[in-house]
Chains A and B, each alone.
Chain A
Amino acid sequence: MTEQIIKPDLNFINDVISSGGESLKKCFQCATCSVVCNVTPDDKPFPRKEMLHAQWGLKDKLLSNPDIWLCHQCSDCTAYCPRGAKPGEVLGAIRKLSLQHYSSPKFLAKMAGDIKYFLLLFAAPVLIFLTYLGITGKLDFANVPKDPVKGIVFSKLIPTTFFIDPVFIAAAAFAVIVFARGIIRYWNDMSRNAGTKGGNIIGAAISAITEILAHRRFNKCEVTKGRSISHILVFYSFVGLAITTTWALIYLYGPIAMKFLGMEPFKWLLGESPYPLTDPMKILGNASAAALALGILLVIFNRIKNSAKAGIGSYYDWLFIGIVFFVMATGILSEVFRLMDIAGLAYPTYIAHLSFVLFLFAYAPFSKMAHMVYRATAMIFAKQAGRE
């Protein structure tokens, strides 16, 4: 065995402990966890070695380790741990620190992981929309005209094309850039640590994505079996809502583009929202919203039901769950109040909805939302490196 110089980072140990891994030091390295885990490779299995590395403060070994993302926090390890060391929770804390390590600017990463800064973070999207309303004199919602046929029309409160879309496009672009920088650094660190030459990345990507789409790893969980269903619901409702949004963009900008090209717009390009409930796009959107409602409620229910065996989770987990919940709740309520024609409730709920969605988008690389990007990256890396 070659000599290794160990460089413990004591602050890192405290970071793990304060990020939801407070049970870390209870681990006595019996390796029950590695054996009961159904998703670990047989060679250098996790999470026993991660527990040791975390206890020793070996930050570099952990943050750039693809294994922390191969873990799906089934919590079989936590349930069978003879010491209550909760390896599932500790790996969750390490994943949070890894996300924060690879996302920049650093201050945003720090704020997203600390309950102290929640109000400050949330104030930003709220202020963006309130400022617009203030400038245009619509703060009391009294001057917002209704459409004689459609009733309440949200774009008359805040115009989609001139305000909402630019704000969201900017936020999305910011997120994409932060993600791109993060995963490039992460990939390079993983390659250096693994010391392997790159394998077939395309093949690995196809294999990883089909695995994610089918939730094959999730289905191997035993103690928290129901999680796969709730995650499938949330995951595919997001896919559905992404399609809905694209579809709406086509409705909105399609006629404009066609007119610009001197063509007569197709009849089915409906233009400005709201769209009739019978429209296929609207049906998909509403179905996705219902799936999201069911999924996120199941997530919350499962978390509480399994908390005795799997742990209750950290602030970081609950912030993400909470934001998704409020995105769903305000979204559905906005539509309901609009259809009921109650302007006094519909407009504020819509502003809240826009704020939660912007929160989700803009802070995605710093919040647990980023798990989808990092987990996919780690799974692709592991597959091309032959680590199954």
Chain B
Amino acid sequence: MAENKKVLIIGGGMSGLTAAIEAAEAGNNAVIVEKTPFLGGRVAQLNKYFPKLCPPNCGLEINFKRMKNNADVTFYTLAEVEKISGEEGNYDVTIKVKPRYVNDKCVGCNACSEACPVEMPNEFNFGLDKTKAAYIAHNQAFPFTYVIDDRHCKGASCAKCVDACKYDAIKLDMKPETVNLNVGAIVLATGWDLYDTSRLDILGAGKIQNVVTNMQMERIASPNGPTAGKILRPSDGKEVKNIAFVQCAGSRDENHLPYCSFICCMASLKQATYLREQYPDSKAQIFYIDIRTPGRYEQFYWKVKDDPNVTLTKGKVAKITEDPSTKDVTVEAEDIIAGKKIKAKFDMVVLAAGMVPSTKNSKISDDISYTPDGFVVPSSLKKGIYAVGTLKSPVDVAKSVQDATGVAIKSIQSARRSK
């Protein structure tokens, strides 16, 4: 029998972790390559996720525990694949690993961050607040090792963090490294990005402070988010008592994303419950073209619909304006059932923005075919290379995990066909 080679997983989000751990638990060596400094991907940024509406750490924490107990899973963070060559069972992969500037001695004490004089937009919170250039994304981050962002860090001329670190964990002279691997199979799990809502000029185009995206709303509602889970609006920190959700903000629109992003209706229904549970006197209004709740999710829709403080209005929002003095937000839509234009004022508005496959803007390699929207065409993949989850079509976490579990077995088969 041929040698049973490694499986390479590109992307350390929920799908990538699942594929890696499932393959490793079946006896294969799995290597995860993650672009950002931490594993967990988009799920780590959610407040709660379907189907059980548990916080992300119930799912991620279990996976991290499985990883720690299994020596067959290894990972690189701040790493990107530069080159893939070869064939099924025998792929040579070049990986570029950027320096973290913090080594394993880090205990996560936060002293470096306190000492760091440089502030930068907090990407993990979608720019809702700021973080230091020496930081950790959130209190449950994995690995729990700080990182220094060299796009903002002033380097050796500052080095205040080096002085502050009692554990000799910060090395500002770390250099990028190149890692070469030979693997039997490759799993593409680079996930998705949120559609850039600043392209939606009639919806405020990212210029109105109290218009946030659905992912920002997840961060606002998250206990480890910028407001520690209190739903407060960005402009003045006022409690949000009256919220609007704008469905299909970019999705199902040939000028933006010509497909349904699958998750946004459920996300808005879920986020309406965040608000309703936090403030009993709050009101939520969801403006939609069609509410799409695939399969059993329909029951969740009924539950939210039964709440008298939640209004569902058929009619797409096509104008959003700001009251410059109060920063309240006015949305305009046609209530199709009543046949009337409505202009309603809200404390905050959430744009239910759609999913863009990460391969829309950063192609993995040239010999893969993509749809015009950037999704990977699975049939165009070479033997031994598999794509999972949102790279192929917009899907939710549960479907991504199912897909990744299935792909784990496919990749094991490819790894065993090694030459």
Q: How far is the CB of A361 from chain B (nearest CB, A)?
A: 41
Chain A residues with CB under 8 Å of chain B are 28-36, 40, 42-45, 48-49, 80, 82-84
Contacts of B173 in A (CB 8 A): none
| CB closest chain-A residue, reference B317 | A35
| CB closest chain-A residue, reference B341 | A42
19 contacts between A and B (CB under 8 A): A28-B252, A30-B248, A31-B333, A31-B336, A32-B318, A34-B341, A35-B316, A35-B318, A35-B319, A35-B332, A35-B333, A40-B341, A42-B341, A44-B340, A45-B340, A80-B318, A82-B255, A83-B254, A84-B254
Q: Are A30 and B341 in contact (CB under 8 A)?
A: no
Contacts of A40 in B (CB 8 A): 341
Q: Are A30 and B254 in contact (CB under 8 A)?
A: no
Q: Are B316 and A31 in contact (CB under 8 A)?
A: yes
Q: Are B255 and A34 in contact (CB under 8 A)?
A: no
Given A35-B341, A36-B202, verify A82-B254 contact (CB < 8 Å).
Answer: yes
Q: How far is the CB of B335 from chain A (nearest CB, A)?
A: 8
Bound CA span A82–B248, Å: 10
Q: How far is the CB of A88 from chain B (nearest CB, A)?
A: 15
| CB closest chain-B residue, reference A83 | B254
Pick from B253, B256, B334: contact of A35, CB under 8 Å: B334
Q: Are A29 and B341 in contact (CB under 8 A)?
A: no
Q: Are A31 and B315 in contact (CB under 8 A)?
A: yes
Q: Is the C-beta of B339 less than 8 angstroms from some C-beta in chain A?
A: yes
Q: Are B333 and A80 in contact (CB under 8 A)?
A: no
Q: Are B318 and A42 in contact (CB under 8 A)?
A: no
| CB closest chain-B residue, reference A77 | B318
Given A30-B248, A34-B341, verify A80-B255 contact (CB < 8 Å).
Answer: yes
Q: How far is the CB of A169 from chain B (nearest CB, A)?
A: 48
Q: Are B289 and A28 in contact (CB under 8 A)?
A: yes
Contacts of A32 in B (CB 8 A): 316, 318
Bound CA span A316–B319, Å: 33
Contacts of A48 in B (CB 8 A): 334, 336
Pick from B253, B255, B256, B334: contact of A31, CB under 8 Å: B334
Further contacts, 12 of them, CB under 8 A, given A30-B316, A35-B318 = A30-B248, A30-B252, A30-B315, A31-B315, A31-B318, A31-B334, A35-B316, A35-B332, A43-B341, A48-B334, A80-B318, A82-B256
Q: How far is the CB of B324 from chain A (nearest CB, A)?
A: 21
Bound CA span A35–B64, Å: 48
Bound CA span A249–B178, Å: 91
Bound CA span A44–B342, Å: 11
Q: How far is the CB of B344 from chain A (nearest CB, A)?
A: 12
Contacts of B341 in A (CB 8 A): 34-35, 40, 42-43, 45
Given A35-B317, A43-B340, A44-B339, verify A82-B334 contact (CB < 8 Å).
Answer: no
| CB closest chain-A residue, reference B250 | A82
Q: Are B254 and A34 in contact (CB under 8 A)?
A: no
Contacts of B289 in A (CB 8 A): 28-30
Q: Are B336 and A29 in contact (CB under 8 A)?
A: yes
Q: How far is the CB of A80 from chain B (nearest CB, A)?
A: 6
Contacts of A43 in B (CB 8 A): 339-341
Q: Are A36 and B318 in contact (CB under 8 A)?
A: yes
Q: How far is the CB of B197 from chain A (nearest CB, A)?
A: 15
Contacts of B248 in A (CB 8 A): 30, 82
8 Å CB interface, B271-323 against A: 289, 315-319
Q: Are B253 and A82 in contact (CB under 8 A)?
A: yes
Contacts of B254 in A (CB 8 A): 82-84
Query: In the complex, which of the residues A29, A33, A49, A84 has the most CB atoms of chain B within 10 Å of its own CB atom?
Result: A29
Q: How far is the CB of B244 from chain A (nearest CB, A)?
A: 14
Mask of B15-59 contacts with A, CB within 8 angstroms, 1/0? 000000000000000000000000000000000000000000000
Query: In the complex, which of the residues A29, A30, A33, A45 has the most CB atoms of chain B within 10 Å of its own CB atom?
Result: A30
Contacts of B252 in A (CB 8 A): 28, 30, 82
Contacts of B317 in A (CB 8 A): 35
| CB closest chain-A residue, reference B288 | A30
Pick from B202, B256, B334: contact of A34, CB under 8 Å: B334
Q: 3 closest A-B pairs (Cβ-Cβ)? A: A82-B253, A35-B318, A31-B334
| CB closest chain-B residue, reference A36 | B318
Q: Are B334 and A45 in contact (CB under 8 A)?
A: yes
Contacts of A80 in B (CB 8 A): 202, 255, 318
8 Å CB interface, B236-263 against A: 248, 252-256
Q: How far is the CB of B285 from chain A (nearest CB, A)?
A: 15
Bound CA span A137–B334, Å: 67
Contacts of B255 in A (CB 8 A): 80, 82
| CB closest chain-A residue, reference B332 | A35
Q: Are A49 and B318 in contact (CB under 8 A)?
A: no
Contacts of B332 in A (CB 8 A): 35
| CB closest chain-B residue, reference A34 | B334
Bound CA span A61–B334, Å: 20
| CB closest chain-B residue, reference A79 | B255
Bound CA span A83–B256, Å: 10
Bound CA span A40–B254, Å: 24
Bound CA span A361–B340, Å: 41
Bound CA span A45–B316, Å: 14
Given A28-B289, A30-B248, A80-B255, verify A36-B336 contact (CB < 8 Å).
Answer: no
Contacts of B334 in A (CB 8 A): 31, 34-35, 45, 48
Contacts of A28 in B (CB 8 A): 252, 289
8 Å CB interface, B321-350 against A: 332-334, 336, 339-341
Q: How far is the CB of A149 from chain B (nearest CB, A)?
A: 64
Contacts of B202 in A (CB 8 A): 36, 80
Contacts of A49 in B (CB 8 A): 339
Bound CA span A49–B252, Å: 20
Bound CA span A82–B317, Å: 12
Contacts of A83 in B (CB 8 A): 253-254
Query: In the complex, which of the residues A29, A34, A40, A83 has the most CB atoms of chain B within 10 Å of its own CB atom?
Result: A34
Bound CA span A84–B253, Å: 9
| CB closest chain-A residue, reference B316 | A30
Contacts of A44 in B (CB 8 A): 339-340
Q: How far is the CB of B195 from chain A (nearest CB, A)?
A: 13
| CB closest chain-A residue, reference B289 | A30
Bound CA span A80–B332, Å: 14
Bound CA span A36–B248, Å: 16
Bound CA span A43–B336, Å: 11
Bound CA span A40–B334, Å: 11
| CB closest chain-B residue, reference A42 | B341
| CB closest chain-B residue, reference A309 | B255
Mask of B200-212 contacts with A, CB within 8 angstroms, 1/0? 0010000000000
8 Å CB interface, B169-222 against A: 202
Contacts of B339 in A (CB 8 A): 43-45, 49
Contacts of B256 in A (CB 8 A): 82
Bound CA span A83–B334, Å: 17
Q: How far is the CB of A303 from chain B (nearest CB, A)?
A: 21
Bound CA span A28–B340, Å: 18
Bound CA span A30–B339, Å: 12
Pick from B253, B315, B319, B340: contact of A42, CB under 8 Å: B340
| CB closest chain-B residue, reference A40 | B341
Bound CA span A82–B318, Å: 11
Q: How far is the CB of A38 from chain B (nearest CB, A)?
A: 10
| CB closest chain-A residue, reference B318 | A35
